[in-house]
């Protein structure tokens, strides 16, 4: 499925009463919810690239020609999390690859629902073969994990959404 | 040829490099600080990484984050632009270690030319004339006094670790020297972390004339003529032009030959500029070498037709220079005005802000290199240059006429810029006659104050 087809789908949906559409096709799964920004989930296979949905509103300076590499960061619109008053974010303090556990076989440092203390190690960001343990600067309960294991992250990228306890 | 390049810079030069990559079909990766999220250079690149918060040291010169971004994006090369990490030998070395090509000279050349005294000694040994003064850093104030006597007043105290016009102090009489020496040392320590000073004769009424060179990795080198950058305010260039009114063909050949001899002596590769002081007697003296592309490179591009950034990329990619010295011909005249977000009426105080309306001048012979756009807010964390306007004409008169026309057309609403000041300079009879030297702006501003304007 390409950007044109996704756009067409959104356009079709707009004219109906349908509020939510889940579509799974070869190598791609799309969830479209009316009234919210939608996101396309990258396929499992590494070769597939799609344009992150919010860029439909965000006009790149040059027209995309065929598959466009996804910017390694979260697309701008998604990165602007609107936080409720009782919510907190843990963001990446450096550029690197995010890992949720100390090693592939080990358990993740933290899970959704867990309460994290200030100074507790929540993940690893690897940069140039060095594993850096990232400590939380806040205390809170993990509501959502915002990044995938082995995802490249940039400075300031939100990693965990927490609620205050 | 490279597949993907990371641009380790921001603003207009980052955009310039992205444009060259686009023309060469090379994918681009931009880096940005949190303050530059909306910058044009970020939007123009194929990929972009946030590498830190606004302060430069934590983002644009944050080597670990930049190298991390480079390895994540899988780039083959990094272009450092000018300033920031461009003359950081350590950064060049780290790129090497990670098998990422640093688009510039070797780390050894950067180190050697970064040490102003070592550079001077090397040039002198290569037979390039140097400014009378220190050949080793001043060990104590008595040495300064001795050397000043030998060179003759007035003299300049300069920081060994300085450059880019910073850390310079003029001394006109011996009785001022001791105080100036100690103050300059403290300032040098504070600004560059290195209190070492050296001393040079102050050549009054001299012109700042610099020579652009390109050298490939096979030993071929050419010079691309000179740029006259005498119109400076506090050692910061405001207006640059090529060719220099003071340089005839014979002198140009001599300058070029000296520049190339110096570059050869340090095994230089890629783009570089050798800065000279050109005195009233027509003699030139080596001042320093800049081992990077310079802000004012468009001036040379317009008179020679050579795209210096593309040449930098080609040289770094291992291509031999496609031209010989005889292929370099200077045609016409080019002038550049650096437009800064500063208030000329308030002693050029930097005034960042939001650009409400932006209109770029056009027409024959006008080029604008800028990251401005309507709605853009200029961050306060970086230097105040917001645009470069370059005009080319068949001769100096036409270039000046086109520049004045362009600056009058240009609209940058919402902020104060140096444009009114540059327009005044461009109307000055002395400037029009080509009578400029490094004291020009100071004299110009002094005359204005006297005239009560």
- Both A90 and A52 in one domain: the answer is no
- Both A87 and A154 in one domain: the answer is yes
- Both A62 and A100 in one domain: the answer is no
Average pLDDT of chain A, as a whole number: 75
Q: Which residue does chain B place closest to A75, by CA atoms?
A: B48
> Which among A44, A71, A98 is the end of a domain?
A71
B117 domain-assigned = no
How far apart (Å, rounded) are the C-alpha atoms in residues B341 and A159? 37
Q: In CATH, what number is assigned to the domain containing residue B178?
A: 3.30.1490.20
- Both B336 and B384 in one domain: the answer is yes
- Both B97 and B154 in one domain: the answer is no
Give the A:B interface size as CB pairs under 8 Å: 60
- Both B149 and B291 in one domain: the answer is no
Q: Which of these, B117, B73, B66, B122, lies nearest to B92 by C-alpha position? A: B66
- Both B305 and B382 in one domain: the answer is yes
- Both A50 and A123 in one domain: the answer is no
- Both A144 and A112 in one domain: the answer is yes
- Both B407 and B348 in one domain: the answer is yes
Q: What is the pLDDT of residue B116?
A: 86
CA neighbours within 13 Å on the CB side: how many for A58?
15
Interface of A with B (CB under 8 A): 60-62, 69, 71-73, 76, 94-97, 127-128, 152, 154-157
- Both A61 and A96 in one domain: the answer is no
- Examine the residue annotation and report whether B314 is marked as an active-site residue of this protein: no
- Both B316 and B300 in one domain: the answer is yes
The residue of A155, A157, A158 whose CB has the most chain B CBs within 10 angstroms, and thus the best one to mutate to test that interface, is A155
Please give chain B's pLDDT, 453 residues, in tens.
Answer: 999 999 999 999 999 999 999 999 999 999 999 999 999 999 999 999 999 999 999 999 999 999 999 999 999 999 999 999 999 999 999 999 999 999 999 999 999 999 888 999 999 999 999 999 999 999 999 999 999 999 999 999 998 877 666 678 899 999 999 999 998 898 888 877 888 999 999 998 999 999 999 999 999 999 999 999 999 998 899 999 999 999 999 999 999 999 999 999 999 999 999 999 999 989 999 999 999 999 999 999 999 999 999 999 999 999 999 999 999 999 999 999 999 999 999 999 999 999 999 999 999 999 999 999 999 999 999 989 999 999 999 999 999 999 999 999 999 999 999 999 999 999 999 999 999 999 999 999 999 887 765
Q: Which residue does chain B place closest to A157, by CA atoms?
A: B50
Q: Which residue does chain A place closest to B47, by CA atoms?
A: A71
A7 domain-assigned = yes
Q: How many domains does chain B have?
A: 3
B115 domain-assigned = no
Q: What is the pLDDT of residue A63?
A: 40
Q: Which residue does chain A place closest to B34, by CA atoms?
A: A156
Q: Which structure tokens are listed for B311?
A: 């040449």
A35 domain-assigned = yes
Q: What is the pLDDT of residue B163?
A: 65
For residue B52, the chain A residues in CB contact (below 8 A) are 155
Q: What is the 3-state secondary structure (H, E, C) of chain B?
A: CCCEEEECCCHHHHHHHHHHHHHCCCEEEEEEEHHHCCCHHHHHCCEEEEEECCCHHHCCCCHHHHHHHHHHHCCCEEECCCCCCCCCHHHHHHHHHCCCEECCCCHHHHHHHHCHHHHHHHHHHCCCCECCECCCCCCCHHHHHHHHHHHCCCEEEEEEEEECCEEEEEECCHHHHHHHHHHHHHHHHHHHCCCCEEEEECCCCCEEEEEEEEECCCCCEEEEEEEEEEEEECCEEEEEEECCCCCCHHHHHHHHHHHHHHHHHCCCCEEEEEEEEECCCCCEEEEEEECCCCCCHHHHHHHHCCCHHHHHHHHHCCCCCCCCHHHCCCCCEEEEEEEECEEHHHCCEECCCECCEEECCCCCCEEEEECCCCCCECCCCCCCEEEEEEEEECCHHHHHHHHHHHHHHCEEECCCCCHHHHHHHHHCHHHHCCCCCCCHHHHHHHHHHHCCC
Judged against a pLDDT cut of 80, whether residue A64 lies above it is answered with no
Q: How many domains does chain A have?
A: 2
- Both A91 and A67 in one domain: the answer is no
Range of the domain at B406: 207-450
Is there a contact between B43 and A60 if contact means CB atoms under 8 Å apart?
A: yes
Q: What is the pLDDT of residue A12?
A: 77
Q: In CATH, what number is assigned to the domain containing residue A95?
A: 2.40.50.100
- Both B250 and B380 in one domain: the answer is yes
- Both B91 and B234 in one domain: the answer is no
> Which among B103, B118, B149 is the end of a domain?
B103
- Both B351 and B418 in one domain: the answer is yes
Range of the domain at A130: 81-163
Are B1 and B23 within 8 A, CB to CB? no
- Both A159 and A102 in one domain: the answer is yes
- Both A12 and A36 in one domain: the answer is yes
B73 domain-assigned = yes
Q: ipTM score of the complex?
A: 0.81
Per-residue confidence band for A46, with pLDDT thresholds at 50, 70 and 90: very low
- Both B292 and B187 in one domain: the answer is no
Is there a contact between B71 and A128 if contact means CB atoms under 8 Å apart?
A: yes
Q: In CATH, what number is assigned to the domain containing residue B19?
A: 3.40.50.20
B121 domain-assigned = no
A76 domain-assigned = no
A12 domain-assigned = yes
Nearest to B34 among A60, A94, A156 (CB): A156
Nearest to A127 among B53, B59, B64 (CB): B64
Is there a contact between B43 and A97 if contact means CB atoms under 8 Å apart?
A: no
**What DSSP character marks residue A155?**
T
């Amino acid at each position: 499925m390409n950007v044109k087809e996704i756009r067409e789908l959104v356009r079709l949906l707009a004219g109906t009463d349908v509020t939510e559409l889940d579509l799974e096709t070869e190598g791609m799964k799309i969830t479209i919810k009316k009234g919210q920004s939608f996101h396309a989930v990258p396929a499992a296979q590494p070769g597939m690239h799609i344009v992150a949905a919010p860029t439909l509103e965000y006009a790149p300076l040059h027209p995309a020609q065929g598959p466009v590499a996804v910017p390694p960061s979260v697309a701008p619109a998604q990165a602007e999390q609107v936080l409720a008053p009782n919510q907190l974010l843990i963001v990446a303090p450096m550029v690197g690859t995010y890992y949720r556990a100390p090693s592939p076989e080990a358990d993740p440092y933290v899970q959704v629902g867990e309460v994290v203390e200030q100074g507790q190690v929540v993940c690893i960001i690897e940069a140039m073969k060095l594993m850096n343990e990232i400590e939380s600067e806040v205390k809170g309960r993990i509501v959502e994990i915002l990044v995938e294991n082995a995802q490249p992250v940039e400075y300031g990228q939100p990693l965990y959404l927490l609620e205050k306890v | 040829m490279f597949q993907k390049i990371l641009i380790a810079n921001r603003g207009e030069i980052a955009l310039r490099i992205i444009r060259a990559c686009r023309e060469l079909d090379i994918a681009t990766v931009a880096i940005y600080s949190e303050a530059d999220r909306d910058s044009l250079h970020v939007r123009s690149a194929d990929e972009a990484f946030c590498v830190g918060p606004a302060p430069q040291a934590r983002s644009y010169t944050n080597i670990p984050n930049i190298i991390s971004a480079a390895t994540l994006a899988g780039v083959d090369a990094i272009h450092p632009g000018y300033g920031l990490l461009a003359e950081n030998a350590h950064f060049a070395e780290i790129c090497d270690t990670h098998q990422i090509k640093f688009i510039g000279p070797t780390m050894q050349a950067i180190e050697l030319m970064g040490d102003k005294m070592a550079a001077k000694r090397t040039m002198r040994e290569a037979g390039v004339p140097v400014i009378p003064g220190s050949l080793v850093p001043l060990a104590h104030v008595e040495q300064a006094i001795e050397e000043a006597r030998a060179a003759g007043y007035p003299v300049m105290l300069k920081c060994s670790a300085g450059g880019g016009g910073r850390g310079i102090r003029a001394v006109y009489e011996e009785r001022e020297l001791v105080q100036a020496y100690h103050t300059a040392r403290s300032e040098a320590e504070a600004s560059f972390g290195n209190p070492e000073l050296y001393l040079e004769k102050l050549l009054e009424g001299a012109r700042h004339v610099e020579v652009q060179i390109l050298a490939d990795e096979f030993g071929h080198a050419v010079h691309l003529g000179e740029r006259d950058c005498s119109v400076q305010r506090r050692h910061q260039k405001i207006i640059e032009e090529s060719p220099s009114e003071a340089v005839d063909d014979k002198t140009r050949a001599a300058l070029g030959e000296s520049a190339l001899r110096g570059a050869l002596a340090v095994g230089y590769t890629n783009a570089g500029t050798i800065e000279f002081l050109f005195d009233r007697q027509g003699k030139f003296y080596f001042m320093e070498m800049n081992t990077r592309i310079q802000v004012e490179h468009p001036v040379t591009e317009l008179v020679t037709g050579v795209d210096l950034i593309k040449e930098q990329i080609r040289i770094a990619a291992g291509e031999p220079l496609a031209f010989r010295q005889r292929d370099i011909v200077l045609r016409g005249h080019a002038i550049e005005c650096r437009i800064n977000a500063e208030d000329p009426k308030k002693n050029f105080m930097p005034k960042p802000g939001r650009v409400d309306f932006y209109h770029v001048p056009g027409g024959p012979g006008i080029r604008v290199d800028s990251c401005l756009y309507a709605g853009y807010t200029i961050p306060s964390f970086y230097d105040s240059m917001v645009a470069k306007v370059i005009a080319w004409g068949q001769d100096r008169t036409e270039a000046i006429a086109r520049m004045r026309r362009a600056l009058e057309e240009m609209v940058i609403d919402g902020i104060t810029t140096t444009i009114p000041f540059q327009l005044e300079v461009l109307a000055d009879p002395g400037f029009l006659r080509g009578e400029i030297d490094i004291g020009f702006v100071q004299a110009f501003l002094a005359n204005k104050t006297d005239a009560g304007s």
